[in-house]
Structure 1
């Protein structure tokens, strides 16, 4: 190895290591001390994450927020047939008897989960009725237990949770919005500080009903779909975790007359916030992209595409997911079928006609799909 490395510049070695999967790098830490310190350094972890391939994280539960005892996810290649890369699931009781060092309590009775930049954030009941929040890196099999948030107990109701990465702060954030029946509280967890902070913004949030599942996290900001308590008009509430500023964004005006529910209609595409609106009678939908105006505090919606689904012979298609190549994954509810759709070329493409029958209760299709890439985050915990 030393003789070989004399002919390979150090910078080339680093570039090669950045493109290897985390599982290989865990082994390569044993090659020599300099590699050990390099692979665990913060700058290498960031550089490595930027070089990793994007996959599709596929779940078999109905939504991000639903109580289930079996935590079963599948990481798949983002290709036509979505072949499985590896399975992420709760191990058997026999496995934990052989590997007592792995605490299975933290992967049981999962209530909610979300994924971002190689980490999965989830909540579960690990001690009878005691619920906790956890960060999990399945690629390196590391779990971090978050400290108890400031607001706990039966008198507190969660309105919504959001999780994501802030590029500006180089930090993972968990946003938790609660109603303790006296005031509304926003709690934000930072992985860098491993602590929670509390922000009150009662006047704004009490004006709206917030969705549990219809949210995205983009550039350090959580965008949560909601509706006005007064006239039920749709609205998006945003919370910037870098500035701790909460604001509201109006939705496209067409929603007032042509809105119908499309599964998880708020999306992120090419680092932009995207909303889908549609008219079921016309079997079509529009894609709107949030753009920033000349004033940095002003935003407007630009309609990018109009998609006529009549050629798919169904009026029951949902925009189910977005792929890394920009194509839409459409789900036909009555036929149990998924289609990859290139909206710009108006082309329907083959997409995963077999899901290996790994879903429970005989289901043929996944019920949750999101983008995912592996990382080394939490390697030093």
Structure 2
């Protein structure tokens, strides 16, 4: 400790902080015990931002894999922390179980990451999670008033993003209120839509205006791009994209790319592609898939095409050098390199269509939650893949 204190006096404090901002969160967590000034500095907005920017600059990506091993209520969804050796070999470092979502059938759905934070949700249950600091926050129940005489409530699509003007993290959620009316002894169904918005700063929900479109689909990728969140939507039988600006809290729409097909023939997934909105299309039928990526830069342009990848079902995400994670027809995780056309089986499997890849950079952003262990979250060393 004396040697460390002496070393600190030999270096300007600004340089010390710059060096520390390049370290992993795990190291910084240990170093909080070195001295109170360090502990305080690690919690300042300047240090948090500098640490995150260093990770982005160096492309220090971490991988989580959401998966399930079956299709019954006894087969719980969980997360696997993937470890890479020199960027080549992938293995399961830890398996992470979240008791808060244990009784959910398909959950949790994942939105993000947004500055290293994930939003997990199923039905009316939602939580924020920083897997780097291991902080977990269960969102409070909505305080939005429901219409009178509601028979049931359905929580639909959700979006998660960052308001840079107020330094706030927000969750927007679509809600449908169902009614059953008895007319002439026959039951008739009716419904009223609502949209509610959660603010982390106020830790509360409020009601906002409902857009005149229907949103649908579960995202495989991160749909939060530069302060806006994007959904697939339909209006008067026309397919389009709905966006929500986290700063001004307004909805707007934009058209789909003219990709030369129909959504009856192709799946569509929206994503953040290097800081701009992307749209990836791939065929619904067959196991020899092609993938077309379009990006929005004022107008839609095709970024690239990948032709005829054999034995795969769907895309899961991009890796550091443009490689594409895919789910194989055998429901294993594979990595495809478009430059070499090489398809590499990573030996990691899951029950069909339960896999989701989350690539994120480490973040010190606080979410005013509790440590994982206080929420009974369990991390176990990775078993064989």
Q: TM-score, structure 2 length as denominator?
A: 0.75
Question: Equivalent residues in 2 for 1:258-277 (5 A)?
Answer: 260-262=265-267, 265-277=269-281
The equivalent of 2:243 in structure 1 is: 238
- Is 1:108 equivalent to 2:115 in the alignment? no
User: Residues 61 and 267 (structure 1 numbering): CA distance in 2 closer, same or farther, change over 3 Å?
Assistant: farther
Deviation digits for residues 90-145 of structure 1 (CA, Å, limit 9, x no counterpart): 4xxxxxxxxxxxxx5x35335333241332322369xxxxx532222233332223
CA distance in 1, matches of 2:120, 2:75: 13
**Aligned counterpart, 1:165:** 162
CA change 1:259–1:288 in 2 (3 A) is farther
Post-superposition offset of 1:82: 2.1
Residues 168 and 352 of structure 1: is their aligned pair in 2 closer, same or farther, counting only changes over 3 Å?
farther
Q: How does 1:28-177 map to 2 (within 5 A)?
A: 28-52=31-55, 53-61=60-68, 70-77=76-83, 79-90=87-98, 106=100, 108-110=102-104, 111-114=107-110, 115-116=112-113, 117-123=115-121, 131-151=124-144, 155-177=152-174
Query: 2:51–2:363: 8 Å Cα contact kept in structure 1?
Result: yes
Q: Match for residue 323 of structure 2?
A: 327
- In structure 2, relative to structure 1, the CA distance for the partners of 1:88 and 1:313 (3 Å cut) is closer
User: How many angstroms apart in 2 are the aligned matches of 1:253 and 1:377?
Assistant: 39
Q: Distance between the aligned counterparts of 1:368 and 1:159, measured in 2? A: 19
Match of 2:359 among 367, 371, 379: 371
Which of 217, 232, 235 is matched with 1:225 structurally?
A: 232
In structure 1, what is the Cα distance between the partners aligned to 2:263 and 2:217? 20
The alpha carbon displacement at 1:238 in A equals 0.9
What is the total number of aligned residue pairs between the two structures?
A: 336
Aligned partners of 2:137 and 2:117: how far apart in 1? 10
Q: Tell me which residue corresponds to 2:378.
A: none
Shift in alpha-carbon separation, 1:379–1:241, aligned structure 2, 3 A:
closer
* Cα 1:373–1:60 shift into 2, 3 Å: same
2:16 paired residue number: 13
- DSSP-derived class of the 1:148 partner: coil
More strand by share: 2
Q: Report 1 or 2 for greater relative contact order, CA contacts < 8 Å, sequence distance ≥ 6.
A: 2
Does 1:187 find its partner at 2:196? yes
The superposition leaves residues 327-378 of structure 1 with CA deviations (integer Å, 9 ceiling, x where unpaired) of 2223332574623232xx3x223545323x6x5xxx5997111212222222
For residue 70 of structure 1, report the CA deviation from its aligned partner.
3.0
The 3 A distance-change label for structure 1 pair 140 and 304 is closer
3-state secondary structure, aligned to 1:253: coil
State the partner residue of 1:318: 314
Instruction: State how far apart, in whole Å, the 2-side matches of 1:188 and 1:27 are.
Output: 36
* Paired residues of 2:164 and 2:247 also in contact (CA < 8 A): no
The normalised TM-score by structure 1 is 0.76
Shift of 1:221: 1.2
Give the conservation status (yes or no) of the 8 Å contact 1:187–1:199. yes
Unaligned runs of 5+ in 1: 91-103, 126-130, 293-299
Deviation at 1:326, TM superposition (A): 2.4
Q: Deviations over 1:162-212 (max 9, x none)?
A: 22334454332211111224532221212223222221225x13xx35224
2:376 equivalent in structure 1: none
